[in-house]
Structure 1
Amino acid sequence: MPGFIDRRRASRLMEHEGLAALVLCQPETISWASGAFPGVASNWRRAGAAVLIVPADENAPLTAIVGDLQAASFAAASGLEDVRSHRIWVETDRFPLSPDKPKRTPRPAQYLLADSLGLLREALHEKGLAGRIGLDMGFVPAADFAAFQALPVQWIDATRIVERLRAIKQPAEIDRLRRAALHARAGLISLMEQIAPGMTAAEMTRIWASAAQDDATRQGLPPPDSCWAYIAVGGDGFAPGGPLAQGDIIKMDVGCVIAGYSSDGARTAVLGTPAPQAQAIHDALHRSFDAGLALLEPGRSLHDIYRTVATTMWDQGFDTYGRGHFGHGVGASIWSEEWPFIADDSEAILEPNMVMAFETPWYIDGLGGFIIEDQLLITDNGAEVMAPMSRDLRRL
């Protein structure tokens, strides 16, 4: 199947927790696992619009439950033989019109959770999946969970299991993230060549996004699905700001999205000569970044990396600096940040083929926004910066 779920790893994780299966409800997780779009009903982001059953037995087939509009296309894209469908609001037919369709029976305004959960109950029973079943409760709304509880299984929160599975990237996922990071870098390089006094953050965003898209076109590649940017100019540090004046700090945190996979990287520049305090802060962040970067390798605790970066800042005299995390996983999500986080309370360990965004940001009202951020692939021996460029405070 074309999805990215590692069935053997999933089986080991489920066995450790005593689970008979995973039931996935989050739309992007279903797409990741199956390689297929779970249907327009999933756009409401309510549980049960689409469901994917992953048995603990790695050789057992997956079962999908999706809206009837896209059941056939889901089966074709995923390669799954067992795709069951429930009625959603969209009315379709073939010509000549089907005489055996329900008569004078309106479809639901969206979809009926009871219908999809009825199919889930049947599928679990048919496949002998009972007892402890993992559910991605980090997604399932409280308003929907009561309906799940009516099923004759013991639901176990499998949010962390799903996060651990998604954190290890397959080669095609790594390729998407690498391409996205390289397009974003090309956009940053072009932007810094064009920045001029009087520009606003909005103008800079348009220049960057256009250059990132053009980079793909020059290579004969499909353009990114979308481009996002948090560009801040001047003393606020986080808000857009502008117009740009001499001495202003420019924070550029950007990403491109390819097939749902978002890159994340950032740099800081200044128009002309920075204030001494600004240069000192960026230098401290740079030294802290280097201290943490040296530790990004398989087997390393994210807690240890966090403490190293934070302590390096504190030892330079910035002991009020309390940034909550210094990076995160990247992948196919609705945002650029996903588990695991380089945080003080993290219990995660780096593993090969994780893709991480590592960063040292600080937003200082009255001085500006500062950030150094690279996207890295964790390899067998260390970490590869996927779109390298100078980390110095760039003087424009």
Structure 2
Amino acid sequence: MLLNKDRAFDIMEKYNIEAIIASMPENVTYLTDFWSLTHRLIKATQNFAVFTRKRDLDPFIITSAGDMDLAADQEECRTENFLTFGTFYVERPAEAILSNTEERYQRLLDLSKPKKDAVTALTECLEDIGVTRGRVAVDEGNITPDAYNTLNKRFPEVEFIPGYQILREIRLIKTQDEVNRLERSSEIIELGIRNAIKAICEGATEFEISQALLKKVIENGAVSSWPAVGVGLRGGLSNVIPAPYPVKNGDLIRFDVGCVYKYYNSDCARTVVLGKAGEKQQAYHHAIKSGLEKALDIIRPGVRVSEIFKTAVQGVRDAGLPHYRRHHVGHGIGIEPYEPPFLTETSQEILEEGMVVNVETPYYEMGLGGIQLEDTVMVTADGYRPFTKSSRDLQIV
């Protein structure tokens, strides 16, 4: 199970919340282990999940009637608390012999009585489970103003409050299922980087290098989230999109890449040089590496996030890059690629055991390119456990 139930109940009690309504795809999946194709692909689609303080009640899922095949086929999602909307047709000949998945599909179709739209299904769900007064947190990330107004009119005794940050607060501490997926996602992206490095040679393009990365990612059951592979001066473009730009001898190649494995993200950065590294390249990479490792050295429960920022930036400066500046040196990671805590100078957040964070020290310079290292770690009782494990050295190919 992805959902950290005990933490969810504690935080709901903290804010005196009777129920949480998720609207963003990531939050619906987190609460229910259910993934909807239309919800992910079509931004205007409104799907919801409802989670209450009633410990014996599974979450409810409001989704399109056309998603019932996914509900039947997703082994992780075992609830049958589906409320559907819209129309979808699938035929069942009398002589058909059904597979186990088809039998569950048929059962879910029989149980669901589709409503005209998602909001109608949502309001009926709240009424049926008795959530008609008190405070309800609504994930404002993917709910329309009209839908929000409908809820307020339909439930005058309910105080609806913003719920997106509350859900993020719940998600700060990862469950074992989340940890397993995050660790595997990190393993896969490092396999991808390793394969991409093998493709580096004079004349190889960003396209070809990133394709080698993507091939290995897909072979291992994940999908790419962003293949930022920058060659030479293009490595100085922080959001570089791979292009038919060839590698030349002496070029830096900056990887800042991630993948998604079973909905969970990875994010890793490494830097490579083709041929002999120049003195400046080596010196700056040493500084970047030193700052990152000093920041990692202080990670443990109770440490202020702002201290990680200060340690990383000062570590880079002290190691030979005195003009180094950053707005952040990392972030949490999970079912979203960027989650709290955000490692900034002004953050008041404190590390807790079970958080998973990315620590990074990127550097971009016009006329030079980009140098970057980034690692994913889980905060443990006495420090951290690394999810990314490849060498941080400037790799020469």
TM-score above 0.5, yes or no: yes
Tell whether the 8 Å contact from 1:8 to 1:58 is kept in structure 2 after alignment.
Answer: no
Return the letter of the residue paired with 2:255.
M
Conserved? CA contact 2:86–2:116, under 8 Å: no
Q: How far 1:271 moved relative to its partner?
A: 1.7
- Secondary structure at 1:235 match in 2: helix
Residue of structure 1 in register with 2:110 after alignment? none
SS in 2 for 1:208: helix
CA contact (8 A) 1:234 1:367 kept: yes
CA contact (8 A) 1:27 1:45 kept: no
**Map 1:165-314 → 2, pairs under 5 A:** 165-213=170-218, 216=220, 223-226=221-224, 228-236=226-234, 237-238=236-237, 239=240, 240=242, 242-314=245-317
Matches of 1:233 and 1:115 in 2, distance apart? 49
Q: 2:352 corresponds to which residue?
A: 351
Distance 1:93 1:357, change over 3 A: same
Shift of the 320–330 alpha-carbon distance from structure 1 to 2, 3 Å rule, reads: same
Partner SS for 2:20: strand
In structure 2, C-alpha distance between the alignment counterparts of 1:359 and 1:382, rounded to whole Å? 17
Residue 59 of structure 1 aligns with which residue?
56
CA deviation after TM superposition for structure 1 residue 371, in Å:
0.5
Distance in 2 between the 1:75 and 1:133 partners? 29
What CA distance in whole angstroms lies between the structure 1 residues aligned with 2:369 and 2:73? 51
Q: State the SS of the aligned residue for 2:233.
A: coil
> Match for 1:390: what amino acid?
S
Distance 1:339 1:34 in 2: 21
C-alpha distance in structure 1 between counterparts of 2:173 and 2:268, whole Å? 20
Equivalent pair of 2:25/2:39 in contact (CA under 8 Å): no
Instruction: For 1:39 and 1:150, locate their aligned partners in 2 and report how far apart those are by CA, in whole Å.
Output: 30
Alignment of 1:7 with 2:9, yes or no, is no
Deviations 1:28-48 (A, max 9, x none): 22122211224635632336x
2:377 matches 1:376: yes
RMSD: 2.7
Question: How many Å separate the matches in 2 of 1:53 and 1:311?
Answer: 45
Distance apart, 1:379 and its partner CA: 1.9
Q: 1:72 to 1:233 in 2, by over 3 A?
A: closer
Name stretches of at least 5 consecutive residues in structure 2 with no aligned partner: 95-113
SS at match of 1:138: helix
The separation in 2 between residues aligned to 1:392 and 1:273, in whole angstroms, is 14
Matched-pair contact (CA < 8 Å) for 2:17–2:137: yes
| Cα-to-partner distance string for 1:268-300 (whole Å, 9 max, x where unaligned) | 111223333322221211111111001222222
Is 303-312 or 15-24 further displaced after alignment? 303-312
1:211-270 Cα shifts (integer Å, max 9, x gaps)? 4455x4xxxxxx324464211001132234632112211101222322122211111111
Alpha-carbon deviation of 1:389?
1.9
Q: What SS is found at the alignment partner of 2:34?
A: coil
Shift of 1:203: 1.2
Q: Report the alpha carbon displacement of residue 318 of structure 1 after superposing the two structures with TM.
A: 4.6
2:119 to 114, 117, 120: 117
Change (3 A) 1:193 1:50: closer
Q: What residue identity is the alignment partner of 1:123?
A: C
Matched, 1:82 2:85: no
Counterparts of 1:364 and 1:255, CA distance in 2: 23
TM-superposed CA distance for 1:365, in Å, is 1.6
Contact between 2:123 and 2:151, CA under 8 Å: does it hold in 1?
A: no
- Structure 2 residue aligned with 1:155: 160
TM-score (norm 1): 0.83
CA distance in 2, matches of 1:383, 1:84: 42
3-state DSSP of counterpart to 1:4: coil
- 1:331–1:338: 8 Å Cα contact kept in structure 2? yes
Deviates more, 1:259-268 or 1:167-176: 167-176
Match of 1:220 in 2: none
- Alpha-carbon distance in 1 for matches of 2:206, 2:123: 52
Amino acid at match of 1:288: G
Number of residue-to-residue matches in the alignment: 368
Q: Deviations over 1:307-366 (max 9, x none)?
A: 221233344575553322211222223xx3233221223233222232222111112121
Distance in 2 (alpha carbons) for counterparts of 1:73 and 1:229: 28
Give the CA deviation at 1:192: 2.6
Mapped partners of 1:184, 1:75: distance in 2: 30
Specify the alignment match of 1:338 in structure 2: 339
Q: Structure 1: how far apart are the matches of 2:24 and 2:218?
A: 29
1:327, 1:356 within 8 Å by CA — same for their partners in 2? yes
Partner of 2:129: 127
Partner Cα distance (1:203, 1:81) in 2: 45
Structure 1 residue 364 and structure 2 residue 365: aligned?
A: yes
In the aligned structure 2, how far is the partner of 1:81 from the partner of 1:60? 11
Which one of 29, 32, 49 corresponds to residue 30 of structure 2?
A: 32
| Partner deviation per Cα, 1:6-61 (whole Å, 9 max, x = no partner) | 222111101111111101111222122211224635632336x3211111233333
Amino acid at match of 2:254: K
SS in 2 for 1:343: coil
Aligned-pair CA distance for 1:76:
7.7
